[in-house]
Chains A and B, each alone.
Chain A
């Protein structure tokens, strides 16, 4: 099987790669989102603490 044949997926390239591509995208976005959420959560705690110290 050639590389071109592999990517052609017997004519179903759009459906097969469309499935796996979007799945990969979903996973990447979710990983970025949970990491971002963690950054925000830590920042919030720091802000709270700083505000508390100023009082």
Chain B
């Protein structure tokens, strides 16, 4: 079979593909969120130590995972754009940044609301919390730097450099609970297994999947607008049927 793998690396072809893909991510996202919340609130039992407050975990952990993965994916796209000079990669990086920042915010927000009843503090300057806050600032830095440079190709290159250098922070977040003595607890789910109740695992996993679907859907919608903005003067954009 002869497949042209580079066909969709052109903004003009990817624009149409992305549009077709959106419902395939948006609809499962909504369904999976509903299932995840149902299991999380009605099937999963109460925690022996933390009572009902632990139910924050079903959004806190998926949001934190997404905030880190989206950063690495963003940095990866940015690096591709920097190395191969592919426009679409840089546009994808730009499209991912706001969603990643929002997941980092959700992680910190739900963490604060969980920390207050369990630790007695909304915030502590421990390694896990501080490095996640730095992640949020890295997203802000990427967005602000990109927005501050008029020429989009130069903005892509400058922001890519920031994204690549900043990606060193992601493993720091992940290993922070091992490397330092943190107030934040260690991983509940390890490679060696978990002590978590099966329904709790299911709720967390389904919500995580929902978050992924959601992130892909909004990123695809956003990247289409970015493509339109940056390809505004091209022939193919003016021939789009949604323009007329």
Contact = CB atoms under 8 A, between A and B. Distances in A.
Q: Do A and B come from one complex?
A: yes
Interface of A: 6, 9-12, 14-16, 18-20, 22-23, 26-27, 30-31, 34-35, 37-38, 40-42, 44-46, 48-49
A26 B229 contact: no
Contact of B225 (A14, A22, A38): A38
A16 B56 contact: yes
B113 A30 contact: no
B229 A41 contact: yes
A42 B116 contact: no
A30 B55 contact: no
Contact of A27 (B55, B60, B214): B214
A38 B17 CA distance: 16
A34 B222 contact: yes
A26 B106 contact: yes
B238 A45 contact: yes
B236 to A, nearest CB: 11
A16 B243 contact: no
Contact of A15 (B113, B232, B233, B242): B113
A31 B218 contact: yes
Given A34-B222, A42-B242, A45-B237, A19 B228 contact: no
Contact of A16 (B53, B229, B240): B53
Contacts of A14: 113
Interface stretch (B80-88, B97-105, B132-140, B177-185): B97-105
